[in-house]
Amino acid sequence: MSTPAFVIGLAPTLEALQWFFLLYFVCINAVYLGLNFISMYTIVRYVREHGVSYRARTFAQYQPPVSILVPAYNEARTIVATVRSLLRLDYPNFEVVVINDGSTDDTLKTVVEEFGLVEFPEAYRARLKTAPIRRLYVSPGHGRVRLVDKDNGGKADSLNAGINTARYPLFCVVDADSILQKDSLARVVQPFLEDARMIATGGVIRVVNGCTVQDGLLKEIDLPDRLLPAIQVLEYLRAFLFGRLGWLPLNALLIISGAFGVFYKERVIAAGGYKSDLVGEDMEMVVRLHDRMREENRPYRIAYVPDPICWTEVPSDLRSLYGQRTRWQQGLAESLFGNLRLMFRRNAGAVGWLAFPFMLLFECLGPLVEVLGYVSVIILWLAGMVSMQAFWVFLFASIGLGILLSVNAMLLEEVSFQLYPRPRQQLKLFVVAILENFGYRQMLSVFCVIGLVRWMLGRSSWGHMRRKADWHEEEEEMMVSPAQTAQTSGAAAAPGKSREVTP
């Protein structure tokens, strides 16, 4: 079959692009390897200082009170297990504030009945603008539990409503499908005790698919049987163990997962709260905090805690995965292009001169370059214009280094927290590390390109992930320690309407 004339004419351009894409892949993987080496040093130091002999108990009397915000929209299947796990946290003073964002299922009814909530006319300061709040509920039997029932406004709006009604100076954001370990809150708050400049901390997220959760407690850790969530286990290992940990020593962390993070409330309010017109409100808030603190020349720190402390459900079907990844990429573009002034600012430090350009060039625009690279190689191969040398170099750069990074993430997990120690689990992860590079990674790149297109077209829709919730088992009765039920609000049983107090 003869080569079309237009392909022959484009051959020099396509070949030049091919080598550009090759150089791009080598650069991005070289940066990842550099972050990996920084992460190895950081995590070894962290495990040595915060290992088995964890110091949080020594400083329990100094731990600041925390409001745990749980935004929930149609989370009836998982919300009870999440709240139960939160009530078992080993922390001296906290409250759990569930924000029902106009759910159309039984989320409100489920929480009210499970924890015996009653309507209570509590006053609060509406320092951030939100959708109307209908009612506030408290629990006479579980004094830590409160519920905000509001009109639908999205996750960011729910968080702003939670901040308005939160009683404590620190607030912790937890997804309604997440499970925390007993020491999770103590560990993620620890940086606030160690450094007075701390304004935000993030925790590591692990995949709960395949695990067993009973009555809000993680009972058994295992890998998912299905390939799609199993690949995401490795993704999360790679993203959290060195994708974020590598930026920690430079105070250049740009992402705190919306599934688990702690913030100093006054700093978030001063920054204007979460933006309701974005789909990536969690990352945008962190980037904006960097920008605000740099602009005001205030000393600050944003930290990351690498312990396996939050377990969340990941998509188990392609439709949900597609919706999630397009939203993530759209949110990434919103966060970066909406705060471009942070990049290369005179006093931006490592966050503006290193982390921001890296996220923009490699994480945000990288999927587009990767897809174009694959397309150009395929066209040249069909035209018979790809040399074997170029083909194998390209294959190694795009696939071989990807496998290497995944295996490094496995090794980092093995030398640190060892959550998957059994040989069967290690073998499964190794097989997944190979398989994800043949189809899955390329598919995600396409999803991310679609997310970029959606951002450019101004389309924003969160959608809703279909949750299987087959990882937890229910018990008929919840057992709560006396310490957890002792903090009951006075006059909590009095019914009535909530009222809003503006500043």
% the chain with pLDDT above 70: 83
Q: Give domain limits for the chain.
A: 63-336+463-479+491-498
The verdict on pTM exceeding 0.85 is no
Predicted pLDDT of residue 385: 67
User: Contact, 284 vs 276, CB < 8 A?
Assistant: no
pLDDT tens-digit series, residues 352-390: 999 999 999 989 998 998 888 778 777 777 766 666 666
Task: Reply yes or no on whether the pLDDT at 12 is more than 50.
Answer: yes
Question: How do residues 399-414 score in pLDDT, each as one tens digit?
Answer: 777 788 888 888 778 7
User: What number is the average pLDDT over the span 239-254?
Assistant: 85
Assess contact for 466 and 345: CB atoms under 8 A: no
- 339-351 per-position pLDDT tens digit: 999 999 888 999 9
| Average pLDDT score over the chain | 82
Asked if 306 contacts 253 with a C-beta cutoff of 8 angstroms, the reply is no
Q: Is the pLDDT of residue 498 over 60?
A: no
Please give the residue that has the higher pLDDT: either 270 or 496: 270
CB crowding 56-66: b at 16 or more within 10 Å, else e: beeeeeebeeb
Tens of pLDDT along 216-228?
A: 678 888 999 899 9
Of 53 and 294, the structure prediction assigns the larger pLDDT to: 294
pLDDT at residue 172 is higher than 90: yes
| pLDDT at residue number 467 | 59
| Between 428 and 2, residue with greater pLDDT | 428
Contact present, 89 and 203 (Cβ < 8 Å) = no
Of 143-147, 208-212, 477-481, the one with minimum mean pLDDT is 477-481
Angle CA 298–299–302, to nearest 5: 115
Report the pLDDT value the prediction gives residue 33, as an integer from 0 to 100.
79
- Which pLDDT does position 112 carry in this prediction? 94
Contacts made by residues 216-220, CB under 8 angstroms, sequence distance 24+: 216/80, 216/81, 216/82, 216/83, 216/84, 216/85, 216/86, 216/87, 216/88, 216/179, 216/472, 216/478, 217/84, 217/85, 217/88, 217/179, 218/85, 218/179, 218/181, 218/311, 219/473
What is the assigned CATH class of domain 63-336+463-479+491-498? Answer: alpha beta
- Is residue 441 scored above 80 in pLDDT? yes
CB 392 within 8 A of CB 18: no
Name the nearest CA neighbour of 101 among 137, 75, 127: 75
Residue 448 reports pLDDT greater than 90: yes
pLDDT single digits (tens) 451-475: 999 999 887 655 555 555 555 555 4
| pLDDT class of 173 with cuts at 50, 70, 90 | very high
